Amino acid sequence: MRTADFSYDLPAGRIAQSAVEPRHAARLLMTDGLTDHRFSDLPDLLRPEDLVVVNRTRVRRARLRGHREGGGGRAEALLLRPADGGRWEALVRPARRLRPGSRLRFGEIVATVVENPGGGEALLELDTGGRPLEESLARWGEVPLPPYFRGRLDDPERYQTVYSAGAGSAAAPTAGLHFTPEVLEGLAARRIALAAVDLDIGVDTFRPISAARLEEHRMHREAYEVPAATVEAVAVARARGGRVVAVGTTVVRALESAALPSGGLRPGRSETSLFITPGYAFRVVDLLVTNFHVPGSTLVVLVAAFMGEGWREAYGAALERGYRFLSFGDAMLAGRAP
């Protein structure tokens, strides 16, 4: 399959550069009939027997800005995930000038380059002077906003979901940014159950596919956990004839990675490099709440696999009707293609 088949023309003016307030005032396109709604309508668009599954990961203050020791100029690092031996996989700048042994200082955090295989990625060893890493990141790190977002967030919490818990991601599960306490209360009032997974979002969220064909693309590993309570909640919803509603592509990847041939789910923590492409047989997810994604990205490919060719009609309608795209944009509620 050609990567170009999953691209589309996204005018720069359609990329959301501000966050809608209140969050649930964002627009919501229901792909069944291509009808327009607000995100606050979500509880009324679902059935009481449905199950809504969210990703409760929290964005780590993983962007570090500083300098190369020895007068080497500015340096940046974006921590992606922990590696063996307490080291970290990271995106670094300027990557070409950083050789093994190079030392980068970010406030009290000193990072030593262990490996630099190219492509902007490196393996770092971090020294925080004995302070727990998350404490040091809280002081010296920044929330890594998407590179296409040129706006300003006065409150970094706006890039966190209201139900986030446990920092572990390099990006937010953006479909969940539309939820508010009022929406959660609306789901509860309709007796629509809520469950959670954890998936630590990594580098593939930030960039489009570079390979000409999907088969040549290598997905990065991401850690995820499906709690036993979520496994049980899915089974209960299924028994009641309900649908599993995934909030975001990360929830889809977590649930489908944990799916068993029998149709059940395997509880626990693991890693996934699952790349969902057209032709994939979905075992768990029935409905998808998701934003509108970067052209030619793995996220668009997943949406195309889920919706079939209907994804183009939905994206075309959203563009025509003035929907806002990408992380701080609007959302859609999509059904799975037969």
Q: Which of 19-23, 44-48, 74-78, 144-148 has the lowest mean pLDDT?
A: 144-148
Q: Are 78 and 144 in contact (CB under 8 A)?
A: yes
For the chain, how far is it from start to end, CA to CA, in angstroms?
Answer: 20
Residue 237 in contact with residue 49, Cβ under 8 Å?
yes
- pLDDT average, residue stretch 124-145: 94
pLDDT at position 205 = 64
- Report the pLDDT averaged over residues 41-53: 98
Asked whether the predicted pLDDT for residue 183 surpasses 70, the reply is yes
Residue 175: band (very low, low, confident or very high) from pLDDT cuts 50, 70, 90? very high
Is residue 139 within 8 Å of 151, Cβ to Cβ? no
- As given in the structure block, the two tokens for residue 217 are 């693309």
Cα(151)–Cα(255) distance, integer angstroms: 33
Q: What domains can be seen in the chain, in order of their start residue?
A: 3-59+153-335 (3.40.1780.10), 63-140 (2.40.10.240)
pTM: 0.94
Query: Is 202 a residue whose pLDDT tops 90?
Result: no
3-state secondary structure of 96: helix
